[in-house]
Structure 1
Amino acid sequence: PLNVAFTYRISEDTGIIPDDGTVKFDSKVFDSAESYNPNTGEFIAPGCGMYVFMLNIRSNQGKTCWIDIIKDGDSLATAFAESGPKSQLGDTTFVTIYLEKGNTVWAKNHGYQGTVCTIDFYSSFAGFRLF
């Protein structure tokens, strides 16, 4: 498929995301090729090409989240949000990368110095095939 684009968000604040745990964005906004699986949290490239991925996170009050965009086990980009006891902070990152058909991309909690990570429903994961 030449036209590949998706956006998913979190439908409600997550529970604790364990270190090395996959972040599962479960609420579909758009998915032209049904290439993102909200049950596994993985995007599987339906064809080769240049892809752009964007990750937006907002940690809940008093929580710290270091979330990586991962391709086949390798970290490509990082979003880091450390919220205070009465505030919420967010971060956004993106990456452009060449994918072969079948390559897998997902978001993973990297973990940060033993902190607890939960993110809220404003968090999202999106991507598209550039060419």
Structure 2
Amino acid sequence: MSKMMKINLYGEVPCGTFTEKTEHVAFGAALGLTDGNHGPFNEDKTVTYPVVFANAGGAYNPQTGVFTAPVKGVYFFTFSGHSLTSKAMGLQLMKNGEPVVMIYNHIDEPGRYIAASNAMNLELEKGDSVYVKLLKNTWMVDNNNNHSTFVGQLLFEDHTQR
């Protein structure tokens, strides 16, 4: 890594008295279904978001829906879901197979659309995985307006040794 003396817009961040170049890691993706419906399934499913708007650093895999941390650091993630109120929607943000935060829309008066979102900062080690899981027997909808999304970015790299 090259040592720098200043912080700039290209990812150099403080690390002691000098700075070290930081990885550029950010992605944004949407479900973007043409038929509108995703689910329900008889088991929990990892959501794949194939409509990729950005994938700086290439850490998000649109085929699997999984983000893999390329460096140790603190990352910000947000996810959203859109559904009809006639069916429940349950989504969980997962880190290495463990739930972190969730959103859940309960069945309500039919015929209305409803959206929900959640977000969290996560400390990740290099190789940690983060993804969104659709809960068993729930569903979500999307279309070319891209209501259902998954977004993440590296806030800062952690150069400390543990």
Asked if these proteins are the same fold (TM beyond 0.5), I'd say yes
Cα distance, 1:17 vs. partner? 4.3
* Greater C-alpha radius of gyration: 2
Which of 28, 32, 45 is the aligned partner of 2:56? 32
Q: Please, which runs of 5 or more residues in structure 1 have no aligned partner? A: none
What amino acid sits opposite 1:120 in the alignment? D
Q: Which residue in the other structure is 2:83 paired with?
A: 59
Counterparts of 1:34 and 1:53, CA distance in 2:
16
Instruction: Report which structure shows greater RCO (CA 8 Å, sep ≥6).
Output: 1
1:10 partnered with 2:34: no
Counterparts of 2:38 and 2:81, CA distance in 1:
14
Counterparts of 1:104 and 1:29, CA distance in 2:
20
The one-character-per-residue Cα deviations of 1:62-109 (angstroms, maximum 9, x if unpaired) are 221110000011101101223642101111100111111110100002
Q: Which residue in the other structure is 1:107 paired with?
A: 132
Which of 86, 98, 118 is the aligned partner of 2:140? 118
**What RMSD, in angstroms, separates the aligned Cα atoms of the two structures?**
1.6
Q: Please, which runs of 5 or more residues in structure 2 have no aligned partner? A: 1-21, 157-162
Aligned pairs, number: 128
The answer to whether the Cα contact below 8 Å between 2:91 and 2:103 also exists between their aligned partners in 1 is: yes
Cα distance, 1:61 vs. partner? 4.9
Q: Which residue in the other structure is 2:155 paired with?
A: 130
The answer to whether the Cα contact below 8 Å between 2:90 and 2:138 also exists between their aligned partners in 1 is: no
The answer to whether the Cα contact below 8 Å between 1:51 and 1:96 also exists between their aligned partners in 2 is: yes
Structure 1 segments (4+ residues) deviating >3 Å: none
Which of 37, 47, 52 is the aligned partner of 2:71? 47
What amino acid sits opposite 1:7 in the alignment? G
Q: Which residue in the other structure is 1:68 paired with?
A: 92
Higher share in strand: 2
